[in-house]
Structures are given as structure tokens and as C-alpha cells.
Structure 1
């Protein structure tokens, strides 16, 4: 599944912040600050952290979400929320079609523009093949963060604390999170959603594996002369994917992955020249292109945590895995983390068990292991295969695209797994009918 996504990072404490041990509050101030207790503490108030806070609060748990909620800084970025993610957001009361101004992704197209000897016709997926009106919906990140923050602020049982979390201490029965104002909160379970520079992950001693790519992703929003017909189109080039994803009206979001020198040249172009460059790369598919607002750019990298859990701590979203903006997986993968963790916690809570216990967290880690590994491996393999012109690699990639284009069972399997993986499916991402959120069903884990 190759609709593009530009994922939004959760907020983390600034790099210049003094290390926790060096910023201990004066003794008299520390003694006057009581520790607040909750069932669950979520560290991070980006999209994943806010969604996690709402999911647990809707299940009847008391939750604190820690971190300042701010609009994403990178310009021109959008998120392609796939069907399973939309169902999850509906289930927690965080999907607002009017406020989000989303565009449906009714078709997904892959066009091979590598110049390979193995010329493959365009591969086009239709949502109607799965009896869906759309594979998902593309929304601007600023709108998504605003809606999530608004809904979170009005969710009963969810307390938003705008401070930064700076340290973590784990006991036998509870974990305590220290905030930058000297106060602290404690809970049976801490959910780390504080992004790729996570302090909670570091405090727990969880190591990460990182891979850097010699590529830059340029992001932008453009208007164009022709209708996109609700089709997301991904051109495979030797430098990486070039993807245009629909937005409302005759507008599309762009993620252009290219070599570092090419990215520098594109960034140096004025707005008109950049629009012409996009039109050429898109083979004039949408006619003349006009840049709206500013362009963004960031280097491509991949990060995976060695493990998803530690005593009374669970990692979700970019704290656990950072993916290049390829294949519409980044934020969608993080929302599946939240949905799976909620399933494990709610089941334990109903049974009167300690939902922060090792056995509960082990279930979460086990349920997410396969999905994460498959997504990380597939995106890494696909991206690296585009950057080589070795005939055997081109042949294998061409054969895979041909199978997707012509073998119906493979097409349908790829589409289903891209939207809502069938291995260990989170209940809220699979079983809640679109636009039919039933709070009683949600609280009963249905």
C-alpha cells in the first residue's frame, strides 16, 4: 500500500534543557508539591499521545497526558489516515469530518519512473474492490493536531498537563514521572509517546537502532489545474518516491524524496520554478502546479527501539519506530500501537488485574512485533531497491509490481493488509463501523 504519509512528531523537551539530575528543585519547593496519581500517564501531547489519552479515558481510566500541545512546525505536511486509523479515531470521538477538511483516497496509483528495462504498466488500486468508499483520508497536520487537542481537552477523565516530563522512576507497584516544574505524577502504567528523542525511553535504558538514508524529503502543498479525482499517485524514481496525495478541491500534498544535491537545488528555486519542476516530475498529470505556502524538508531516517516495553512502561508511535514518509505507514502504525495497548490494558482492567504488570505489557509487545517488523522491513527494502539499478533487483521489484497489477488475490491481500492488518488486529481499528461509534460497545471492548 503506497499512499504517502508525512507523519507528525510528538513533542519532546528541547535539546537545550538541562539534564534531570542537574535541575533538581530547591528542597522547600519540592516538599510543597504533592504527587498526583492517575491510572495511566501518557508522556507526549502530539497526535499519538493525545489519541492514547482519549482511548484510555474513554475506557473509564483516569489519565494524564503530559506535554505542550503545539501545531507542527514543518510546513506542507499532511497525514494520510487509512481506514483502520479513521475507525479508531471515530471510536474515541476524535474524527470530525467538517473540522478536518479531509480528502478521500479512492484510488492509489504506482507509476514506475525508474527507467528500468523491466517496464511495468501503472498499478492502480480501487477502494471499491474492498467495498469501501475510500482507502482513507488525507488531512493537513495542522488541522489534525487542532482537532485532537480540542477533543482531548473536552474528554472526561483526561487531564492535560502542559509541562515537559524530565525523568522516570519505576517502583514495584507504580511509576513516577518528574515534570520540569518540580512536580510529579504517578500511575500503574506510563505510555511513552514523546517522539524519537524520547526521555522516557532513555530513562528506561531502551536502546535504538537507526539507519540514515542519503535522501531528503521535500514537502509542500500545491494547487493545480486538473482534478486529482481522489487518486493518490506515487512515482517510483531512482532517487526515491515522488508522491502527490489529494486534498480538498484541486489541491494536493507533495512528498518528494530525492538525493541530497537534488533537494538543495529544488529548495533554491523560487515558487514559480518549483511549481514547474513538480509539474515536470508529475508528467503534467495534474496540469500547472502552484505552490501554496512554504516548503519543508527533512532527511530520511529509520529508527526502531530494541524493545517496546520495560517495567511499567510501554512505547508507542515514534518513540518505538520512526519510518520514512513512504507507504502511508508512520502515524497509522503508531495508532495501531495505541489501539493494541488499549486492548491489553482494558482486558486486564476488566479482570481486576494489574494492567501495568509485565504479563500485560508482554502481550502488547507480542501483538505488535510482527506488524512493526513487516512494515519497517518492507519500507526499507522498497526504498533501497529504488536507489540501485542492478538488474536482479529491478527484476524482482518489477515482478512484485506485476503481481500486484494482475493477480487478484495478491492485490486484495495487499490492500487489506495495508489498511487493517489481520495479524493481531486491535479491536477499535477493526470492529467499529464507520460513523457508528457506540460508547457502550467501546467500554465493553467491542
Structure 2
């Protein structure tokens, strides 16, 4: 069943090399990265979501420059590019909702190198379609509509029990099953987490005038309000509110919802109109104590959940995918066991510091900016103004946002594994 996407069990129940639980972007990116470099490995993706459910995702994501380099190296970026909106520049403001004027404290040019924006906005359906197509082309097997119920680890393999009763043997099980990962819990991996008492309202709006590729982040007392440009006169919004207020706002009728939105969005782009559904997601911090167990590894939201204030959640998942793929491929080329704890601990040590650092950074930023304490506002605004006058510091932040700092996996540098 090579290259086929199906809601039925794989035709062959022979042992697989890697079984990935979760067919979202990170799970598929991991599968594609491994299979592209080591086509002899049998890679199976099992996704509990209904077949084709990914085609209905109305959201959009910020794809950092490092992630787009990886997608390009894997042959996924060219199909995405016509629908990707480059972020040409970004401004940061700090104000109250009632303020008639929002002074700009910080501006960023959008390029990490000539002609290379630090990020693009891509609709999730487009991203998923490209990853699915490449997975099929490479021979990654995909089963949709069936999940992993449990697994048993042995010395040389892991036995994976699927929800339809099928049992498979694998050398390595990768959990890419999201923030509420059942496999993480079954593996006995503990987490450090807390709730922010905030929710992120996500929706898409159409506006009368063009955005010219500008992203804006308004720091308001309840949390950041981010406006991210999409193709055409459209923008994706990530609107943070206290959870009780977010639930009330999402429950409003269209007229009153757009009135609340207009108070924060403003009139700079003319008349606005909400397109498609609006949803609210609870926000919190979640970091795992361990990334791996014998023959078991976590990637993406199963390994970490951070505040969207820096727009790095998905890009951290792609860093996981690139790092794990590099470890797996390198281990396999040496003729060693890809599921051994010795190999997987190299992946854990590579990703742990970066994840904790980003989690702590976003936590501090959220605490600093999601309040209306006058002395704190004065200090943070002075800080933003100072950064705006320091080109070297701004370049550093742009590289951070682009995912090009630190010990970056080869794929994220645009290099083959």
C-alpha cells in the first residue's frame, strides 16, 4: 500500500521501522524527512482523525524561514509558495483598548537575508496538502481514522496496538498526538504545566484595504492581539483574552463579535468582515520532563505547549522533526539501532534546552505584557524603544523569530541530512 492514504489497516502487517502516531504537520514532516533521506526504512503514520479531516482546517500558521528552508529541501515548499504570504515587516504597539492612538514602539524589517522573509503565513490546508502529497510520493504509509490504543516495549521492538484491534511491531514509536497526548501518559512521562487563565481566539477576517504584508502585535491589558497577513485582503488573528471574556466574545452573534473585534483591530484597513468559524483555545505552558523512553520519542505539541505570543509553537515542532530525523538517519547509516535509548537520548539532549528556553521566554513575555500596571508599562515601553534603536539587537531577534539561532538541525539550514 505504498504511498496510499487510507482509512483501512495497512495491507502488510510486517514489522515497520518507525510508526508515527499523529498525522498533523509535525508527524508528517518527521515521516517525510526520514523517508526522503533513508528510503529503505518502512515508515507508517497512524492518525486517529477521520479521513480527510485535515482538509477542513480553517486556520493559518506562521512558517519561519528555517521551517520554509526545511520544507523546500524536502520538496514541499514550491507547491505551498503560490499561496504563502510573506511577512514584509512587523510593528509592535503597547496600549489600552480605549486608547485613540496606538504608538508604535518597535518595528522590524521582514528579511533575514536579501529576498528571504523571516516568515510566511500559510493556511493549514495548504501546508497539510503539500506534506500529504510528498509523503505519498516517497512511499510513507498512512492510515487515517485509526489511533494507537497502547504499546508494549521490548528489548528489540515495540508492540503497537491500534484501535481497530490490529497489532504491529516497530523499532521506534514516535508520538505526535498533540497536547493531550495519550501516548505520553502511557509512557509515564511527567510534565510541568500551568494554565494562564487566558484563551486565544482564532479567526480570519477580510478587510477593505491591503495589508502590504505587515504583521502587527498589539499588547493589550488582557494579552497580545496579533494581526497576521494572508494572501489577498485577508488577515489571520490570534486574539488573547481572559478565558471568561473569550468564551463570552466567541458566543456573540456576528454583529456584536465584529464590534468587539473592531475595537482592537481599528479602522486602518477599512471595513472588516469575519470569514469562516471563530474558535477559542485555552492557553498554558506545558513542558515534558523527558522527551524519550526506550523505543519511544515525543515530537511537537506532545512534547511542549507554549504561549502564542512569539508565534513559535509550530516552528518548535518542526525543529523537533528535523532533529529527530537527523538522529534517526545518522544512527541508521552507522548500522546501529534507531530505537535504542542511546540514540534517542541524543535527540533529547539536543531539543531539551531549546524547548525550556523558549517556554520560559514566552512565559515571561506574557507575564510582562498581559497586565495594565502603570510602572510596568512604562518600563516595558522604554525597553521596546531602546531595542528599536539598536540594529544589532533587532537582527538578533529577527534570527530568533526565523528559527536560525542556536544548534540548528541541517534541514532547517536548508541542507540535506
Q: Same fold (TM over 0.5)?
A: yes
Q: Tell whether 2:84 aligns with 1:106.
A: no
Superposed displacement of residue 227, structure 1:
1.2
- In the alignment, which of 327, 339, 345 is matched to residue 344 of structure 1? 327
Which residue number corresponds to residue 138 of structure 2? 155
SS of the residue corresponding to residue 176 of structure 1 reads strand
- In the alignment, which of 39, 51, 60 is matched to residue 29 of structure 2? 51
Bigger CA drift: 137-146 or 240-249?
137-146
Q: Distance in 1 between matches of 2:368 and 2:284?
A: 16
* Structure 1 residue ranges (4+ consecutive) displaced by more than 6 angstroms after TM superposition: none
Over 3 Å counting, the alpha-carbon distance change for 1:34 and 1:344 in structure 2 is: closer
Q: Tell whether 2:275 aligns with 1:292.
A: yes
SS of the residue corresponding to residue 408 of structure 2 reads coil
Q: CA RMSD in A?
A: 2.5
Q: Distance in 1 between matches of 2:266 and 2:87?
A: 20
Which residue number corresponds to residue 91 of structure 1? 73
Superposed displacement of residue 154, structure 1:
2.6
Which residue number corresponds to residue 262 of structure 1? 245
| Alpha carbons 1:46, 1:145 under 8 Å: kept | yes
Which residue number corresponds to residue 26 of structure 1? none
Over 3 Å counting, the alpha-carbon distance change for 1:405 and 1:92 in structure 2 is: same
Which residue number corresponds to residue 185 of structure 1? 168
Q: Distance in 2 between matches of 1:71 and 1:164?
A: 14
Q: Tell whether 2:407 aligns with 1:424.
A: yes
Over 3 Å counting, the alpha-carbon distance change for 1:111 and 1:76 in structure 2 is: farther
Which residue number corresponds to residue 66 of structure 1? 46
Which residue number corresponds to residue 60 of structure 2? 78
Bigger CA drift: 204-213 or 135-144?
135-144
Q: Distance in 2 between matches of 1:166 and 1:179?
A: 5
The two structures have a TM-score, normalised by structure 1, of 0.83
SS of the residue corresponding to residue 122 of structure 1 reads strand
- In the alignment, which of 213, 232, 236 is matched to residue 215 of structure 2? 232
Which residue number corresponds to residue 39 of structure 1? 17
Q: Distance in 2 between matches of 1:198 and 1:102?
A: 30
Over 3 Å counting, the alpha-carbon distance change for 1:161 and 1:178 in structure 2 is: same
Over 3 Å counting, the alpha-carbon distance change for 1:112 and 1:97 in structure 2 is: farther
| Alpha carbons 2:56, 2:125 under 8 Å: kept | no
Which residue number corresponds to residue 320 of structure 1? 303
Give the total of aligned pairs: 400
SS of the residue corresponding to residue 172 of structure 1 reads coil
Q: Distance in 2 between matches of 1:256 and 1:74?
A: 21
- Name stretches of at least 5 consecutive residues in structure 2 with no aligned partner: 1-10
| Alpha carbons 2:91, 2:217 under 8 Å: kept | yes
| Alpha carbons 1:107, 1:135 under 8 Å: kept | no
Q: Which string of whole-angstrom CA distances, capped at 9 and with x for unpartnered residues, describes residues 168-189 of structure 1?
A: 1111111121111222222222
Greater strand share, structure number:
2
Q: Distance in 2 between matches of 1:380 and 1:54?
A: 32
Which residue number corresponds to residue 16 of structure 1? none
Superposed displacement of residue 345, structure 1:
1.4
Q: Which string of whole-angstrom CA distances, capped at 9 and with x for unpartnered residues, describes residues 225-246 of structure 1?
A: 1211101111000100111111
Q: Tell whether 2:123 aligns with 1:140.
A: yes
SS of the residue corresponding to residue 154 of structure 1 reads helix
The two structures have a TM-score, normalised by structure 2, of 0.89
| Alpha carbons 1:112, 1:121 under 8 Å: kept | yes
| Alpha carbons 2:106, 2:388 under 8 Å: kept | yes
| Alpha carbons 1:110, 1:234 under 8 Å: kept | yes
SS of the residue corresponding to residue 308 of structure 2 reads coil
Superposed displacement of residue 127, structure 1:
2.2
Q: Distance in 2 between matches of 1:421 and 1:49?
A: 22
Over 3 Å counting, the alpha-carbon distance change for 1:52 and 1:36 in structure 2 is: same
User: What pairs up with 1:234-249 in 2 under 5 angstroms?
Assistant: 234-249=217-232
SS of the residue corresponding to residue 286 of structure 2 reads strand
Q: Distance in 2 between matches of 1:34 and 1:234?
A: 50
| Alpha carbons 1:368, 1:424 under 8 Å: kept | no
Q: Distance in 1 between matches of 2:84 and 2:343?
A: 36
Which residue number corresponds to residue 18 of structure 1? none
Over 3 Å counting, the alpha-carbon distance change for 1:254 and 1:151 in structure 2 is: same
Q: Distance in 2 between matches of 1:148 and 1:129?
A: 25
Superposed displacement of residue 206, structure 1:
0.5
Over 3 Å counting, the alpha-carbon distance change for 1:99 and 1:127 in structure 2 is: closer
